[in-house]
Amino acid sequence: DTVLTQSPALAVSPGERVTISCRASESVSTGMHWYQQKPGQQPKLLIYGASNLESGVPARFSGSGSGTDFTLTIDPVEADDTATYFCQQSWNDPYTFGAGTKLELK
């Protein structure tokens, strides 16, 4: 299975720029997607196809990368962005998720 590796946690101040990384154990082309999950809520799709902004998601969120290295960027970070962010690949079967990066605001 394709393993997606994410840093476990990050802490940033409001107004800063933050990048959350996801590295795949094998190429997933641009079949990478990003989700935000707040406590007690279901995941919400932010970015699909590595760099496409899902409808209704603020333009502060952006995605980049291809192959094995991907990045979710939030610029600027707002207090409401406190959440866990998951990457997920849909290029290789079975589709897999990263373990998540918990973003905390200072």
Q: Which residues of the shown chain bind other proteins in the complex (CB under 8 A)?
A: 33, 35, 42-45, 47-49, 52, 54, 86, 88, 90, 93-100
Q: Nearest to residue 65, comparing CAs of 54, 50, 75, 49?
A: 50
- What is the amino acid identity at position 62? S
The answer to whether 101 and 10 have CB atoms below 8 angstroms apart is yes
Residue 97 DSSP SS3: strand
Cβ proximity to other proteins: between 43 and 67 the closer is 43
Compute the least distance from the CB of residue 68 to other proteins, in Å: 18
Q: Nearest to residue 60, comparing CAs of 78, 48, 45?
A: 78
Compute the least distance from the CB of residue 48 to other proteins, in Å: 4
Compute the least distance from the CB of residue 83 to other proteins, in Å: 14
Cβ proximity to other proteins: between 9 and 17 the closer is 9
Asked, as a colleague might, if the bond just before 43 is cis with ω within 30 of 0, I would say no
Cβ proximity to other proteins: between 56 and 79 the closer is 56
Retrieve residue 66's tokens: 């291809």
Cβ proximity to other proteins: between 55 and 106 the closer is 55
